[in-house]
Structure 1
Amino acid sequence: MLIKIFDIVKRLFNLRNIALLLLFLAVAGCLYYGVDKLWRDKEAEAAKRLSEYQAAVISDDVELLSSRLVEYVIRGRELARARIFRFAVKGLAGADKKHREEAREDFGNFVKVSGFDSAYLFNLDGSLYSTSGRQLEGGAGEYRRLVELVLKNRIPVFSPLRENSGILTSDLFLPVFPAEALSTEVEPTKVLVLTVPLSDILRSFLAAARELENGSRIHLIQQYGSAYQDVILGHSDNLELQDVSADLSGITKVEFGKRKNLQNSDMVYSSAEFIPAINWWVLMETDVAAANDDLNIFKTGTALIAALALGCVVFFVLTIKFIVSTRRYYLSSTKNEENLIQQRSENRLLKLVCNTMPTPVSVKNSGDGGFLFVNKSFAKMGGLESRAALGLTDKQVFGEINAETISHGDQMATMSNSAYSEEMVMPGRAGSSVLQVTSVPCTVEEDGDAVLTVYRDITSDKNASKRAVEVRQQVINALIRAVESVPFLDGHTSLMRKMALEIAETLLLSDTDCATVEAAAILSQVGKTFVPREIMEKQGKLTPEEIRETQRYIEHTCRILEGVEFDLPIPQTIWQMQENLDGSGYPNGLSGNEISMLARILGVTNTFSALVQKRSYRKAKTARQAVEILQSMADQKYDSSVIEALGAVIYTPAGKSILQESHIEF
């Protein structure tokens, strides 16, 4: 099943299909890039057009409102300079009560004729001097603050809008100068406050905003203390002031951009300008969704066109591929017909070859394990007729134990999709024979997945190999006996081999590494048979020349082993065993990680074996004394982890047994 899936994936992802896929991705990428750039340009164009539209509308509205406010300022100044107003003010200061009432009535009538709802006169200290008849509509503190502001700057000031029964008004504060004053540098005599009716102006202003493009809305925002209010048209076109959460302090202009609306509910495009005379902001908002209606229609259209273009490209490529595939199929079919006769002839020849081969061969179904084909050699091996073997299984031919071995090989070959070999012992009348069973996965058209199995008799090869190993071991044993005859080396090799193996197992090395350490320990001292006997038996201190001669035993050992074929890195390990971590060893002065772990183990056990054995010039050390000496050189000459493992080994039952057998004191 896995092979079929792999074949399907292989056919789908051939070079031709990958090239077509890359072509498709390239065309799709180009279309995506082009459409995306077109959309971005269109969006930027729409945003620019909307920005210019909002700027024009806001500019016109600011100019309109500013001009209307300027009209009221001009009227107020004319009223303050009018002779009738000054007579009325003078009459208000008279002693006669009747004259004062007449002056107040004249004052009120003149104010209304001038287009204002009411008027108030304040003294320079902020106290109320007189009114046109209506009481103050705000707090005295706010009036006093604005009076002080007017007296300080000598310019007109508008108060924030006030709402009263759907009518919005604002107070215009004007300094009143003496009749003979020629400039504003003269000290004012009074402050005139005129109530300006703004409902009609604002109603027409907001009503006109209902006809803006894309459902845009105009907001008139004023600052009232630390809060902000929006002027809105309520039910029955009544004007209302609604609190908003905006913060426009210190801002004179809001640039065009995308942001939350005043209610923080939807995204809008907005911009605003400030009217400083009355502390108003004219804010225009356009819903993003409404503004992008045309853009979304454009995006949908261009996306459909791009998809259609991509579909046309795919259709064209697939059509060309179909034509080419059809032509190739026709040529392939013609060629297959021509080769059919030749293949049948080859099949007959192949069957003839298989049946005449001395090597048993079988083909079995991967599913049920039944034999699909066996040659005559296989039938003879199993004591069957070729046709009688078809449909049987390994268990029926070879028995349960060997069938498990063959089944394991079949599974490994199928999983790795490559040949896999195992050895199997086949009992017979003349004795058991060793077969090398090689399984190879294959496919049979009629039966699906199958396994081709070849059975090769390797009994003679195994026997020859066994004899070669025995001969090699005899040679090694002879070398060891020669080494043990050297002075001071009696029992050295045996102790070194046992301790090295225990250390390797303590360090959890692999079986291969353990075998390498054991064999290298056995052979490591062979070269000392070439060191002159007088040097080995010398009682006193060796000369530098004699030391160099003894160190050459490593070279002698490796030269002796040079012609022996090992499957393990034994010569390499012996070559490095006298190297030290600090580079002071021999023969090559290796250091640190240049020395293998196996060579480090041999170096420690070699020194340990030498220390615990008696010499002519010193007594033998105990095992613990030898470990302490090695620990003093840890990570300088010898690996500390190997020394720690040696220290642990001598305390184990196996280690104590080795020391006792070698007559070593603990």
Structure 2
Amino acid sequence: MMNSRENASYSGLSKRSTLLAAVGLALVSGGIALLACFSQLESRRLDVMQRFEQDVTAWLDGARRDVEIWNADMKKLRLRISESETYRLFSGDLFGLDSRVAGVINSAEQTGNLPGPAAVLSEEVPAIRRILLEFMNYNGLLDARLVNKNGQTILSAFSTPSPLSPEQNSAAQQTMKTGETSFLPVRGSVNGLALDVFEPVYDLDSPEKCVAVFMSSVPVLSKVTQFTARPKQNDMSTAAMVQRRGDVWEKMQVPSPVAVPAALGKELADHKGVLPFGLRESVSEGGGMVYSMSVFFPGLEWSLVHETPESVVEGMVFRAELPVYAVGVLAWISFMLLSGLLWWMGFGRQQRAVAAELRRLNQIISRQKELLDSVNLSLDVGLFMADVKGQIRVCNPALAAILGKDEKDVSEQMIFSCFPTDAATLLLDRIRQVAINNREEGCEIYLERDGEKRLYRVTLFPFMDAGGESVRNSIRGAVVSMKDITEFRRQSLRMRQRQKSLIEAFTRAEESVDPYLAGHSQRMAKLGELLSVEMGLSEDGRNTVVMGAMLSQVGKLFIPRELLTKKGKLTPEELDQVHQAPEHAFRLMENVDFDLPIARALHEMYENMDGSGYPNHLKGEEILPEARVLGVLNAFCAMVSSRAYRKGMDERQAVEELMNNARFDQTVVNHLRNVLKTPEGMVAARS
């Protein structure tokens, strides 16, 4: 037997061992809790950033639509002058006259009689000037004039117009040379901010000859103010319009635009005016760091920048992370308490001491419960725990608010007494599936709240009965969370509707340039839907084929109409212009946010499997699969369509032609043949 000294030594060693084990358990548990918290914190941060970026993108899309509508309206306004027969005839008559005569024709009534044809033209000046002046005043323009190839004002709303600045003169000459609309950067003026626009004027008798330029000065301060009206994301978000002037980016403000900070200007230049969502300097000098994002308007060379102070966004992130901090602290405290209890029990054998410790732990746990309850009250997600019989064991206040009830009227109640019958049936089925399969489940339900039908995303997790002998036997129900996703779903539907409207507009425009294209895109889309299902394409693949089919002819909007409708053989130069259609389609669609490879599919639609296609002579697997499908559909629909110079082929004959042509993907052709054997396929092919 051990003597008293050995017994004391053994007792001390046992206590130290127990203490070290408890400390080790506390450290390990703390490390585990810390790692779990870090993972959840990153997930919460990413979720907040993604949702905020979606809100900003939606606002920018709306603002972009407003700017594009305004720009289109201004274009129509300018064309009323530049396409007017009166001004085209007047400019054409002056085009061949001596520059000295053309330079004084606008003030002919003050300078006296002019020789020859100029005298006749000078008599017309007062009348058409009056019309131009009324047009300028009615539409709120600051200046309106016609400028000739020498940079001379040949007609102005004012009898004594101000001279053109070198920048205005250069822009007018550029428009005369290229025949394209030119925009100067917004400038300061006595009337605020002004935008100078130069529109080509073509001769009435020779429509291909540019004989003058219509220059209009548009006040834009009120429009810029409208476009940058305070966003609705929060009270601290702002928006600013910036413009590119050569290599410098400027913020539009009165009395005149000012350069943005150098670092931001470089980033705008690097991204061609389209800033991705991220943290950077503010547009305003001294504005600090902001989370910003922008959209660019080609031609105008404007970029609309949405900004939110860094502190505001980080505050949103912190509020989302706060419950994670609280849960992590509570978990670590719980492990610490368990470790302390083990240490206490290691050397304290008396029942009285254990009872005292349990009472102390009960007090701490009560405080923990109070803290958890306070965290639970701050959550906006409905939570409840229900068993497989459909009884709600416990719920949080957010769920009671969703159901329009008091918390005490929900706990311990059956699901069917709290939820509508359809929602309750679905929830009970999912709870039982969770209990049977021991895995997470999800669904969506509709609930009436405040007189409105709201959509909720439901996620269910299994919970265990601690007294069970096995995992399968211990599962007794599910923990259910409910998140209101009504607004998110509405935004998604609006975005899909905008995409549908955009595609329909392009389709109408496609058919307007070539009468033979009427119905071509719709036929491709109908066959593409059936063919995608036959080939087993993914949802993204099917959407890419159908949307690509609707936009398949969009590149032809930029091809001269006379080439598309020409009945004879095209010259090599004309054929080269027609082959530019995929490039035009790619440039038009590459910045449209479809979340699908639509632009690439349109770009590669005319590539051939043997490398003989265009524009990049890709071959085989180098070509996007959806582009290969569009290539087969485009060729088939063209072959079965009648033209003025030929009758359309029979569908089976067209397929045989495709099967004997190495340019097309034979796998796609075989699937198309299978589709055409079905009633639906034949209806689509002949529609």
Using structure 2 for the length normalisation, give the TM-score.
Answer: 0.43
Q: Could you say which structure has the larger radius of gyration?
A: 1
Using structure 1 for the length normalisation, give the TM-score.
Answer: 0.44
